[in-house]
Chains A and B, each alone.
Chain A
Amino acid sequence: MADEHEKTGDDGRTARVEPLPIWFFVGLILGTYGLIILVAGLVGDERPTVLAEIRPALWWSAIMITAGAVLTAVGFLGHRRSQRKVDP
């Protein structure tokens, strides 16, 4: 019986299934944090901070969401490509 992290191809050969790459998880975390910070930035903060007028939460969260989306896509597509090689 094949191990739970192994796949058996049509030719009967067993190949190792790789975990999702770290970029996928980093992307998810950054994207989620970016969305939370964006919402918090839109709601606003009663506590006065220096440079509040340039709204750092808004543009920094936009950068985080973009980076998160790119890393999630890179991780997911890279993983799918490597799985195709395992089981053509």
Chain B
Amino acid sequence: MPAMATIQLQFVDWLIIGLYFVAIIGIGLYLKRFTKTGEDFFLAGRRNSSWVAGLAFLSANLGALEILGWTGGTMKYGMFVSHFYWVGAIPAMIFLGLYMMPFYYSSRIHSVPGYLKLRFDEKTRLLNAFSFAVMTLLMSGINLYLMALVLRTILGWDWHLSMWAAAAAVGCYITLGGLMSAIFTEIVQFFLIWFGLFLVAILGVVELGGLDQVFAGLPDAMSRLWATSGDAAANSMGVTWAGIVMGLGFVLSFGYWTTDFLVVQRAFSSKDLRSARLTPITASFFKMALPFIIVVAGLVAYKLSLMPGSGFTLLPHPETGEPWNDTALPLLIARYYPAGLVGLGVTALLAGFMAGQAGNISAFNTVWTYDIYRVLFKKDASDAHLVWVGRVTTIIGILLSVGTAYLAMQFNTIMDYIQAIFSWVNAPLFATMLLGMFWKRTTSAGAFWGLIAGMAVSFAVFLGFKLELFGPGLTYALTFSESPSAMSCNLWQAIWAWAVCFGLTILISAVTEPKPAEELTGLVKGLTARADDSAHGLLGRPVFWAAISLAVLIVLNAVFW
């Protein structure tokens, strides 16, 4: 099928897109002067304030795929999408800042697998390092493939050119400036997304006649957060409040936000422990604001699609021919934006794609260099050698991403596995981390075999649902639903992986020998000095801002109940 461009770019739009590439490569060149040591390259010199680290923490998660996907997802799931930004993120971010960050930051590690080495042993570190490396490369490649698919559909751009140009730019600035380059471009992306896309939601609300008109006439399943969550059949996501709270709000959310090195690495770059603790708490406020772009724009698109004569019709998916929800946001850009603003909107999406890839690559090069290369190949590597390895790994990681993108192009069912990969890596890891940080009796054997079992269960449950191997009885026992939706299966897959890892780690720990207490100082609750914020006023204390964040979360949930 020939590519069908919906957005026509003019000279001024190309100028804005071109300037973005000049700016990010220029920033990379400028930052290279300040990137000398391993700490500079892999941890941005540990010099960042909580504002810089916090915005980067959020932006590393905020890819264009998420923005396009959830704007389109709102047309299907309505306000339920907000759960991914509110209950499915904020409690975990606050828990990370208040309770887990002291163990991470105080141990001066370079990565999450590095904590597993200190707390448990080398084999647990390697297990997590390899699974994380595979996950980030797959995610990076799939991100690249979907970027090319979207750009081809909405702009008519060539597949190969857009993939290679984006990969080359990301490879260039990460190789030059390391994590600091990634963080700088993530913050540029954050501002571009707000300035480039929030206007879409504003103009949509203006066209419909006000925010109350956006919600007017919508069924409860589309306009309420919790009112229809008592019965899975009453909402289009097909999940109950238990699935949302336990699967999304607890296992998946805590598993992602507290253990995924892609985001946690940004907090490690903070200049001190207080800034590191404030990093996810600062990010939580901006995370809560995102539905005001994404969900509002999605609801506007939904209402326009129902209005005869609005001229708003989703584009067909280039592979399935079905109406493609991911085109909702680009179609709104084409609807409202004149020349210049179109360039800004497209640049915001491009920046989102590229920052997502940069986040994956910068996390990958750190884990590969410190947790795999140094452990298996060169234990006595000098700092300068590790920086060199980090730069080479960046280029290799980019090439592997492009290879994965071509693989995804050939076998596009690979994308069905994205959520499965997250559940496979992050859900059991959260159980291991929780026990490791808060129960000093947890042993290395318990952690390792618990993690293996959790990953195996995650994989088995995924395959069981995917290949329809489970009978009705087992399906009900696993999901508390006779015909669970794909989303519900994902959530329960994560819950079971976490539960098995948690239970087995406790059982094995009960019968094996724990590490002596003196080896656990600074790594476990009860053997670590409590973070002391008494030198700071109320406004400088993480716990104060965490309380405000929670209060805002409660108010938002009450308003849209």
Which residues of A approach B to under 8 Å, CB–CB? 3-5, 18-22, 25-26, 28-30, 32-33, 36-37, 39-41, 44-45, 47, 49-52, 54, 56-57, 60-61, 63-64, 67
Contact = CB atoms under 8 A, between A and B. Distances in A.
B58 interface: no
Contacts of A26: 187-188, 191
Q: Which 9 A-B pairs have the closest CB atoms?
A: A40-B340, A45-B338, A37-B340, A45-B339, A40-B12, A19-B34, A22-B187, A40-B339, A22-B184
Q: Is chain B's interface secondary structure helix, strand, loop, or mixed overall? A: helix
B277 to A, nearest CB: 21
Nearest to B203: A51
Nearest to A40: B340
Interface stretch (B25-33, B113-121, B134-142, B373-381): B25-33
B203 A56 contact: yes
Given A19-B31, A30-B191, A40-B12, A47 B23 contact: no
A56 B188 CA distance: 22
A37 B207 contact: no
Contacts of A40: 12, 338-341
B556 interface: no
Nearest to A52: B338
A51 B36 CA distance: 51
Contacts of B339: 40, 45, 47
B456 interface: no
A48 B341 CA distance: 14
A33 B344 contact: yes
Q: Is chain A's interface secondary structure helix, strand, loop, or mixed overall? A: helix
A25 B340 contact: no
Contacts of B10: 45
B19 interface: yes
A41 B338 contact: yes
A66 B339 CA distance: 21
B199 interface: yes
A56 B337 CA distance: 8
17 contacts: A3-B36, A18-B47, A19-B31, A20-B30, A26-B188, A28-B23, A29-B23, A29-B188, A36-B12, A37-B12, A39-B12, A40-B339, A47-B338, A50-B203, A56-B341, A57-B338, A60-B199
Contacts of B20: 29
A50 B207 contact: yes
B16 interface: yes
B43 to A, nearest CB: 15
A37 B192 CA distance: 14
A36 B15 contact: yes
Given A30-B195, A51-B203, A64-B195, A36 B340 contact: yes
B489 interface: no
Contacts of A50: 203, 207, 335-336
B23 A25 contact: yes
A54 B207 CA distance: 11
A25 B336 contact: no
Given A36-B12, A57-B341, A51 B191 contact: no
Given A36-B15, A56-B199, A5 B340 contact: no
Q: Which of B33, B337, B338, B344 has the most CB of A within 10 A?
A: B338
Interface in B147-186: 180, 183-184
B88 to A, nearest CB: 28
Nearest to B335: A50
A22 B183 contact: yes
B8 interface: yes
Nearest to A34: B195
Nearest to B312: A50
Interface string B319-343: 0000000000000000111111100
A37 B336 contact: no
Nearest to A54: B206
Contacts of B184: 22, 25
Contacts of B337: 49, 56
A61 to B, nearest CB: 8
B199 A37 contact: no
B340 A56 contact: no
Given A25-B27, A26-B187, A29-B23, A57 B340 contact: yes
A47 B339 CA distance: 8
Interface in B6-60: 8, 10, 12, 15-16, 19-20, 23, 27, 30-31, 33-34, 36, 47, 52
A33 B19 CA distance: 9
A4 to B, nearest CB: 6
Q: Which of A4, A5, A41, A57 has the most CB of B within 10 A?
A: A57
Contacts of A21: 52
Contact of A41 (B33, B187, B207, B340): B340
A19 B8 CA distance: 38
A4 B30 CA distance: 12
B336 A56 contact: yes
A30 to B, nearest CB: 6
Contact of B33 (A4, A36, A63): A4
Contacts of A57: 338, 340-341
B206 A51 contact: yes
Nearest to A4: B33
Contact of A25 (B19, B34, B188, B341): B188
A32 B191 CA distance: 13
